[in-house]
Structure 1
Amino acid sequence: MRPSRSLRRSLLAAATVALALSASLAAATAQPADSADQRPNIVMILTDDLDATATPVWEAMPQTAQLIRDRGMDFTEGFAPMPICCAARSSILTGKYGHNTGVLTNAGEVGGLDAFRENGNEQHTIATYLHDAGYRTGMAGKYLNGLEEDPTHIPPGWDDWNAGVDRFLYAGYNYTLNENGTMVHYGVAPEDYQTDVIRHKTTKFITESSDSGKPFFWYAVPTAPHFPIPPAPRHLAQTQPTAAPQSPNYQEADVSDKPTWLIDTAEERRAFIDATNNLDYTARIGSLLALDEMVADIVDTLARTGELDNTYLIFTSDNGYNLGAHRLTQKMSPYEESMRVPLTIAGPGIGKGSTDAMALSIDLAPTILSWAGVPVPDTMDGRPLTGPLSGDRSGWRTDFTAEYGGAGYTGENGVWQEQVPGRTPYFYAVDMPSWSAVRNERYLYVRWYERERPLEHREYELYDLHNDPYQLTNLIKTPEGRAEHADTIATLDARLAELHTCAGLSCR
């Protein structure tokens, strides 16, 4: 076994001194060229549906709080502008908004793996850029919705590929991984629990990469706490039925100011939340226990191999989760519960603290490339977080656009793509229509039915987040409200038009 890179750094320094004394000694102690590659490693841990509003993330995951958040920078204003699994993950991998990846939902014309590939995204991901730059790359867990339709597919750029190829991945058991071209089925034994399998693959990759002498990028992608994954067997006894938190917009009493689709389904949604929300929340909290242990094991392995001080760690989620806010389950909405995500980063040169700089999921790819010394392509919409990570917010964004492509006319393009086969649906069947939005430091402005209706028949919302943080009062539902806020509407509508068509540098 070759020494870790930390040890090789010391050996390299000794060899340099020897070179000055004796050319022959230097030749005798010379090491392979890759031992001089001291570029940092990157490990990104992407959770599934972990919100930053109702779920007490750091209380539920104390080891993650201690080992990543408290060692680095916590982004209190972290957002997922494409708040559904496939769209969010497409943006994370590419550094682009959904209107530029062409992926706005989980399936259909503007969703899923097919849309991702058809728009040329797979040739321009974090993995391809880093692999081409000499990094060893790997992943385990959930890739993109639609991979189950092409399970043998392995995208370019990945040296170690361990992706779930069926929807049983959401159940935590009885799933299949494509492990570098070999289909491996995991059953229902305790050791098959998905988070633990990803944990073991992660530590194995880190150990092997440290021995290789190459810098590495690892993408740990468990489905926890996405319902219906249960707690790990060892945590079942300590997972007690727990009532979900109820914020002021929980089961919102008056939704008459909301868009038509929500008004028309409000009573059915209320009943569904009453029946399922606490069960959902209990499973979520229980599944975070194994996730927390996974993070601790990753950090321990990095320390043991001598790589921790030269590794950036990112902990975040693909999107948020509603948990009954506005009578909604799941995600997809433009409201705070769907879009706010935990985001914390630790690593070389990052001080301890927190920042309220608006950080978006599209910023992760350019940030990772900047750490690796890879030029950030002008086609990426996001910006490296290097400024906010050093405490510098000067010139940073004060707004962003957000988008969702809807469930399609059949209703099957949204969260139906996340349904475990043979299971009773765990979400209310009527998905929400498409929308686009602009959010700045004070307002959220939403345009509904973006793909379903012509512009003159769309519906709108405006919320003053300073005075109405729970988005209870749509200021422009009535003609009087629209007249009163005409100037604000004009400004935000113009900004939405700019951002909804921006690309690359113009998005920054």
Structure 2
Amino acid sequence: MGPIPVLRRWPVAAVAALLTIAAGGFTASAAPEDERPNVVLILADDLDAATTPVWQAMPRTAALIRDRGMEFTDGFAPMPICCAARASILTGEYGHNTGVLTNSGPVGGFETFRAGGNESHTVATALHDAGYRTGMAGKYLNGLEDDPGHIPPGWDDWNAGVDNFLYSGYNYTLNENGALVKYGLAPADYETDVVGAKSRKFITDSAASGQPFFWLASSTSPHFPIPPAPRHIPETRPTASPRSPNYQEPDVSDKPSWLVDTATARAATITATNDADYTNRLGALKSLDEMVAGIVETLARTGELDNTYLVFTSDNGYSLGAHRLTQKMAPYEESMRVPLAIAGPTVPTGRSDAMALSIDLAPTVLDWAGIPAPDRMDGRSLTGLLAGDTRWRTDFLAEYGGPGADGRSGIAQEQVPGTDSPLIYALDMPSWSGVRNQRYLYVRWYERERPLDAREYELYDLQTDPYQLTNLIKTPEGRSAHADVVDQMDRRLTDLLTCAGPTCH
């Protein structure tokens, strides 16, 4: 075997103890090092896999994680907004079970997550209780700024952003294990680089301790309006966003009424901002790519790489002008499709088209650590797929809780202070629930705003219409022609909206 596994098996302390025994001065045996695997989860923010050329923009990440392991080409975020998505990643549960379906209000945000008791059963608490050293840096849950001193249970090294300046990349504050530390405007304060430095330190310290570890590297890149790092600004040239067939969709008359009514204003916003936003996103991904490379280099230098699972993904996608939409939250492909690549011990190289969801990450991590997943987890461990098992889900539930009665519960919670604008409210959308299988997407709009008989519906055939341009049930003739499909999908949606644990599988 090579030198890295030898160093992993024989830490310095153990070697010193053996030398002492050989000298006759000490007879007690040294405690064996814990050989359970480490896990590093690298979480991007608002990085879609439908339009953005993720792997071209992040060649180091492609080489170090995707090409060394398994890429899930059908990775999805079923709750496609920041807080709801991150709640599902931490717990392995759908939004209707965490209670978090948006960023704030009675069905969203950090306070709802905490009040529902979710912080007592996260992937961090399970690993910590099992003897893992746990840590994170960057973005936690929207609303943490209302209780900046809070440190959730289960985290040994806590470095969470406590204000929305985190999205700007500068002038933010981190809660560093109870101390509120202010970062300024210097190049060294650039948020992705700070998260990267804390990642490298945590890995180095954990490797020296001999304790298995879990680390969450949670930069806000490439979430609007984070710019490229200063060193990348000169090479970041203006770039037009991809013009997919549904970009600035010309005819939205078959879409729900909220989009029909706001289509002109949304299109104007995209014309004014989308290309600049896309350019910044590509520039910001350069430093995120460097952060990933630094993490992998540190794992190799400390002898931990061969015993570490690396996961790269995003909390949710991003519309980038599809259907005249600028943000996420939508049930469409651009909002829900996320990159997902996993490398590590026993992970084969290749690609999988299995529907892998963000709710699957927590049970997968626990599986790697040898910890049984609680029955309450709605997701399933991906380890079976990685081992070649072909038995897997053929559909999944998706949900969004809406912006709330005052319009502030959704993406308004992601505004950088000082940039508040009424425009942000117009960019949100009503609540919805939907079910997506291997052929169809079925969506029920106004779930929380209207009674059942006043809701609006969409059905798309993804085989013939992958860009979701034609709502098959907008007209009475369409509803009649697809009545059987709608009945089947609606019954499945009703079942999934009340599922919990194994019944979600």
1:336 to 308, 322, 333: 333
**Aligned residues of 2:238 and 2:279 also touching (Cα < 8 A):** yes
CA distance in structure 1 between the partners assigned to 2:422 and 2:279 by the alignment: 14
**1:23 shift after superposition:** 11
**2:294 alignment partner in structure 1:** 297
Q: Does 1:250 align with 2:250?
A: no
In structure 2, C-alpha distance between the alignment counterparts of 1:89 and 1:344, rounded to whole Å: 17
Distance 2:8 2:51 in 1: 46
8 Å CA contact 2:164–2:417 kept in 1: the answer is yes
Please say if 1:452 is aligned against 2:449. yes
SS of residue matched to 1:273: helix
Equivalent residue letter for 1:30: S
CA distance in 2: counterparts of 1:105 and 1:245, whole angstroms? 28
Matched, 1:30 2:26: no
Alignment of 1:336-485 (within 5 A): 336-393=333-390, 395-423=391-419, 425=421, 428-430=424-426, 431-485=428-482
Q: Is 1:200 the equivalent of 2:197?
A: yes
Please, what is the CA RMSD of the aligned residues? 2.0
Determine the structure 1 residue equivalent to 2:208.
Answer: 211
Whole-angstrom CA distance in 2 between matches of 1:254 and 1:455: 27
| Deviation of 1:425 (Å) | 4.3
> 1:382·1:507 contact (CA, 8 Å) conserved in 2?
yes
Q: What is the CA deviation profile of residues 150-172 of structure 1, one whole-angstrom value per residue up to 9, with x for unaligned ones?
A: 00000000000000000000000
User: Once the 2 structures are TM-superposed, how far is the Cα of residue 54 of structure 1 from its aligned partner?
Assistant: 1.1
Question: 2:79 corresponds to which residue?
Answer: 82
Distance change in 2, residues 1:298/1:428 (3 Å): same
Distance 1:148 1:61 in 2: 31
Q: Matched residues in 2 for 1:444 and 1:249: separation?
A: 16
The one-letter code matched in structure 2 to 1:281 is: Y
Alignment of 1:272-311 (within 5 A): 272-311=269-308
- 1:429: Cα distance to partner? 3.0
1:7 corresponds in structure 2 to 7
Could you tell me how far 1:78 is from its partner in structure 2? 0.1
Secondary structure of the corresponding residue to residue 152 of structure 2: coil
8 Å CA contact retained: 2:46, 2:317: yes
Following superposition, the deviation at residue 356 of structure 1 comes to 0.3
* Aligned counterparts of 1:463 and 1:47: Cα–Cα separation in 2: 28
Q: Cα distance, 1:428 vs. partner? A: 4.7
Structure 2 residue ranges without an equivalent (≥5): none
Q: 1:157-203: CA deviations, max 9, x gaps?
A: 00000000000000000000000000000000000000000000000
1:391 is displaced (CA, Å) by 2.9
Q: Deviations over 1:344-371 (max 9, x none)?
A: 0000011110000100000000000000
Q: 1:154 to 1:30 in 2, by over 3 A?
A: same
- Structure 2 residue matching 1:401: 3-state secondary structure: strand
Tell me the alpha carbon deviations over residues 249-300 of structure 1, each in whole angstroms, 9 at most, x when there is no partner.
Answer: 0000000000000000000000010000001001100000000000000000
Shift, 1:4, TM fit = 8.7
Secondary structure of residue in 2 paired with 1:476:
coil
Q: Secondary structure at the match of 1:71?
A: coil
Quick one: structure 1 residues 112 and 5, their matched pair in 2 at CA, closer, same or farther if it must change by over 3 Å?
A: farther
**Measured at CA, do residues 427 and 140 of structure 1 come closer, stay the same or move farther in structure 2, by a change above 3 Å?**
farther
Aligned with residue 271 of structure 1, among 262, 268, 278:
268
Which runs of at least 4 in structure 1 moved beyond 2 Å after TM superposition? 3-6, 22-30, 424-429
Once residues 494 and 336 of structure 2 are traced to their aligned partners in structure 1, the CA distance between those partners, rounded to angstroms, is 20
| Separation (CA, whole Å) in 2 of partners of 1:25 and 1:426 | 77
Distance 1:232 1:11, change over 3 A: closer
Q: What amino acid maps onto 2:297 in structure 1?
A: D
Distance in 2 between residues matched to 1:165 and 1:63, nearest whole Å:
30
Q: CA shift at 1:51, angstroms?
A: 0.2
Quick one: distance in 2 between partners of 1:309 and 1:303? Answer: 8
TM-aligned CA deviation for residue 427 of structure 1: 6.0
Please, which runs of 5 or more residues in structure 1 have no aligned partner? none
| SS in structure 2 at match of 1:492 | helix
Hey, what's the Cα distance between the residues in 2 that align with 1:251 and 1:80?
Answer: 23
Question: Could you tell me the percent identity over the aligned residues?
Answer: 71
